[in-house]
Structure 1
Amino acid sequence: MGYTGTVEVGGKAEVRELDGLTITKVAVGPYDNNAYLLRCTATGEQLLIDAANEGPRLLELIGDAPLARIVTTHRHQDHWMALAELVEATGAPVVAHPFDAEALPVPVAEPAEHGSTVQVGEASLDVIHLRGHTPGSIALLYAGDDRPHLFTGDSLFPGGVGNTWGDEGRFKQLLTDVTERVFDPLPDTTWFYPGHGKDSTLGRERPSIPEWWNRGW
């Protein structure tokens, strides 16, 4: 059976082989967060997106291969509860946007600004700053496959953008950024991987953007 993107806490990881990159998706408790381990197929170097929780499980997933860095998509605690543990165990530097860096439990060694890149072996990930869910939320884009692959944290999910807690200004900022920085430049084939729950594609979600604007969340 091929990759589905459906994982559950305590269940098996899902593995997807791309051109140049292997993606391993796992769900960790107690908040059903997704963590993503990316491995460069040319060098074996790895990168972890969101050390959310269950540190021993994530360390087992990483194994003996080198962990180049840990990316934290945003400041909310459910996305970094195992971060200090993994940094201590692996020595990997932490990557995050400067606007969210001070909220993390360990120093950010590599600030990730909009338009910058993050390396894992020979693979490059483009940083997309999506303001609104938090000031420093980021997404990571891998364009080295036959379709783009986007890791969206809590800024974009199947069915809408991330929570802005009824704040009209934050909602407008987030949906504007998601529209202008994600939907406008990227094709419908783009597969995206959120911080919780199932994956989707931009083509599946694009027709609903007017509905999202109208409902205000």
Structure 2
Amino acid sequence: MSYTGEVTVGGPAHVRELAGLRIAKVAVDEQMSNNCYLLTCRATGEQLLIDAADDAPTLLPLVGDGGLSAVATTHQHWDHHRALADVVAATSPTVIAGEPDADAITEQTGVAVERRVGDADTVRFGEITLEVIRITGHTPGSICLLYRDPEGHPHLWTGDSLFPGGVGNTFGDAAAFATLIDDVETKIFGTLPDETWFYPGHGSDSTLGAERPHLQEWRERGW
């Protein structure tokens, strides 16, 4: 089955096989339908989980006996880390988050953030390197994680900063929206090619090429 990124809560993980990286996407929580992504280095078996959003009984079997090298939380909002404490207790990974959001994540979950990251930082597991892109606006310390596939196009995990059809919610804060759309346009669309496939915190995936024509429309509508 070819990968589409279409997953449903309670359904199976959808798996994408790259030359060096396996990507498994699963949806959790009927109300919020958060996406969680398990990345596995195919050379070493080391694994990283992006957003332990909810439902440890779903996430831990997905992780399996391989354990976790790290778990990265894309931002501080409660729906993206409800299973963090249980996943960390079971797998003892390095806990990673954006520096400005780290304290809030610890306050909400009781889990210490061991690596506080920002622009130009990297996250390594096995032979895989992810580049950190800090995007301010949806929260102060939201992060995206970029994998530059040496045998294909880039892959980008965007949390709630970028979705098909627009940027993340800034809850009516015009200044936060301006910062968010500027960061997304400059740091993502301004540096990455159209074939970049991105994986958001909720819902379906898309490519930068599919979304790029709408940037000015998003800016003008203010959300």
Global fold match (TM > 0.5): yes
Residue 111 of structure 1 deviates from its aligned partner by 1.1
Gaps in structure 1 of 5+ consecutive residues: none
User: Is the CA contact 1:44–1:66 (under 8 Å) kept in the aligned structure 2?
Assistant: no
C-alpha separation between the residues in 2 aligned to 1:152 and 1:49? 10
Q: What residue in structure 2 maps to residue 6 of structure 1? A: 6
Once the two structures are superposed, the pairs formed by residues 102-113 of structure 1 within 5 Å of their partners are: 102-104=103-105, 105=109, 106-113=111-118
Q: What residue in structure 2 maps to residue 88 of structure 1? A: 89
User: Deviation string for 1:21-71 (max 9, x for gaps)?
Assistant: 000000000410000000001000000000000001100000000310000
Q: What residue in structure 2 maps to residue 21 of structure 1? A: 21
Once the two structures are superposed, the pairs formed by residues 1-217 of structure 1 within 5 Å of their partners are: 1-30=1-30, 31-104=32-105, 105=109, 106-144=111-149, 145-217=151-223
AA matched with 1:96: A
Between the two proteins, the alignment pairs up a number of residues equal to 217
Residue 130 of structure 1 deviates from its aligned partner by 0.3
Gaps in structure 2 of 5+ consecutive residues: none
Secondary structure in 2 matching 1:192: strand
Aligned-pair RMSD on alpha carbons?
A: 0.7
AA matched with 1:26: V
Secondary structure in 2 matching 1:138: strand
Residue 148 of structure 1 deviates from its aligned partner by 0.2
* Alignment TM-score, normalising by the size of structure 1: 0.99
C-alpha separation between the residues in 2 aligned to 1:193 and 1:98? 22
Over 4 Å off, 4+ runs: none
- What percent identity do the matched residue pairs reach? 59
C-alpha separation between the residues in 1 aligned to 2:165 and 2:58? 29
User: Is the CA contact 1:117–1:126 (under 8 Å) kept in the aligned structure 2?
Assistant: yes
C-alpha separation between the residues in 1 aligned to 2:123 and 2:18? 18
